[in-house]
Structure formats: structure tokens, C-alpha cells
Structure 1
Amino acid sequence: MAGHQTPHFHNQPGVPTIRIGVREFMCTGALPPLDHPHTFIDMGDSDDAICPYCSTHYVFNGALGHHADPSACEYTPDTAP
């Protein structure tokens, strides 16, 4: 799988809120094969967004950079089965 420039996050752990350091990202829901369509989300000027597929609440925290809190919610080719 080729690397991607847009950060991808998932909610395999089932947490109610994921803090992320970007305002534009992809939500995958859970990890494959239980993922939903990879959805591009743009928070715009807002500090939060809710995925329309899985209802995960994402909250912006610029100090995180391209990372997530909890870090287990960062999707990388290494996390894919």
C-alpha cells in the first residue's frame, strides 16, 4: 500500500473522542476488514467534527501534529491486517 499524505484515523478501540492535530483527514471507522468507506473530513474553522458513518467525535489539538490521542487510532499501513 502506498503511503498517503492525508492522515487517516480509525476508531478500532471504540473511544468516544479522538484528539487529532489536523483539520483535514480520513476516517476509516475500524480497521479492515471492518472499516467503512474512507471518508474525507474537513473541519474548516471548527475545532471538532463527527464522522457521518461511525459517529466518532474528532477534536482538533494542534500540538499533536499529524498524530492522534490515543495514538492507537492512527491508521498506517502497519496497522492494516
Structure 2
Amino acid sequence: MAGHGTPHFQNDAGHAKIEIGVKEFMCVGAHPPYDHPHVFLDMGDEAEKVCPYCSTLFVYNASLGAEETRPEGCIFEARSAA
């Protein structure tokens, strides 16, 4: 999970909807420097949640693992400073 206890997701591609396999997670927006405050989101009993910063709709999909997204590639991995 990219070195985090809670899965972090990003949306560099600007997807309107991202399916994820967890109900508690962090949204970072896009990779820095285009990120927004890293916000903890909890779906609770619901099956979807909209990020209040970037308006990405996250939808719970029980068939996905904690490190999987649909579309693929939306798990946040910190990039090293080069």
C-alpha cells in the first residue's frame, strides 16, 4: 500500500470515477505538486464517497483488493526526489 497503513489514492488522469476495494482511505488528488490536502475519507455504510477537494467519485468494489483500482494505476506511490 505504498508504505502507508491506510491506502492512498491519486487521480492524475482525471477520472470521474475510481473503483476501490476499501471503504477507508486517503485521497491525495494528483501527484505533487498538483496534489490537494491529503484527506481521510470513510464511506461508512455507503458504497461511494466524493472527495471534497477534487470531486473524484470513489466507488467500493468488494472484488478489488486494497491495492487495486479500476481503472488501474490510481494507487498513490510517493515519487522520490531526483
SS at match of 2:22: coil
Q: Distance in 1 between matches of 2:32 and 2:16?
A: 20
| TM superposition shift of 1:68 | 0.9
TM, length-normalised to structure 2: 0.89
Q: Which runs of 5+ in 1 are unaligned?
A: none
Q: Does the CA-based 8 Å contact 1:13-1:72 persist in structure 2?
A: no
Who is 2:24 aligned against? 24
CA distance in 2 between partners of 1:28 and 1:57 (Å): 13
**TM-score under structure 1 length normalisation:** 0.90
What is the alpha-carbon distance in structure 2 between the residues aligned to residue 54 and residue 72 of structure 1? 17
Shift of 1:31: 0.8
Aligned to 1:75: 76
Q: Between the two proteins, what is the percent identity of the paired residues? A: 54
- For residues 46-73 of structure 1, the C-alpha deviation after alignment (integer angstroms, 9 at most, x for no partner) is 0000000000000000111112111211
Q: Which is strand-richer, 1 or 2?
A: 2
Structure number with higher helix proportion = 1
Partner of 1:54: 54
Kindly report structure 1 stretches of 4+ aligned residues shifted beyond 4 Å.
none
Which runs of 5 or more structure 2 residues have no equivalent in the other structure?
none
Q: How many residues of Structure 1 are paired with residues of Structure 2 in the alignment?
A: 78
